Structure 1
Amino acid sequence: MPHKIPESVLVVIHTADLEVLLIERADRPGFWQSVTGSLDRPDEPLLETATRELFEETGIVADGERIVLNDWHLSNIYEIYETWRHRYAPGVTHNTEHVFSVCVPRDIAITLAPREHVAYAWLPLLAAADRCFSSSNAEAILQLRHHFPAA
Structure 2
Amino acid sequence: MPLDRADLKLLELLQRDGRATAQALSEAVNLSARATLNRVRRLEAQGLIEGYRALVHRAALGEQVSVFAEIALKDQRQATVQRFEKRMAAAPEVVACYLVSGRYDYLVRVACRDLAQYRDLTSAWLDDVGLGIEKIVTSTELQTIKEFAGFPLPRS
Q: TM-score, normalised by structure 2?
A: 0.26
- Which has the higher relative contact order, 1 or 2, with Cα contacts under 8 A spaced 6 or more apart? 1
Structure of greater Rg = 2
TM-score normalized with structure 1 length:
0.26
Higher share in strand: 1
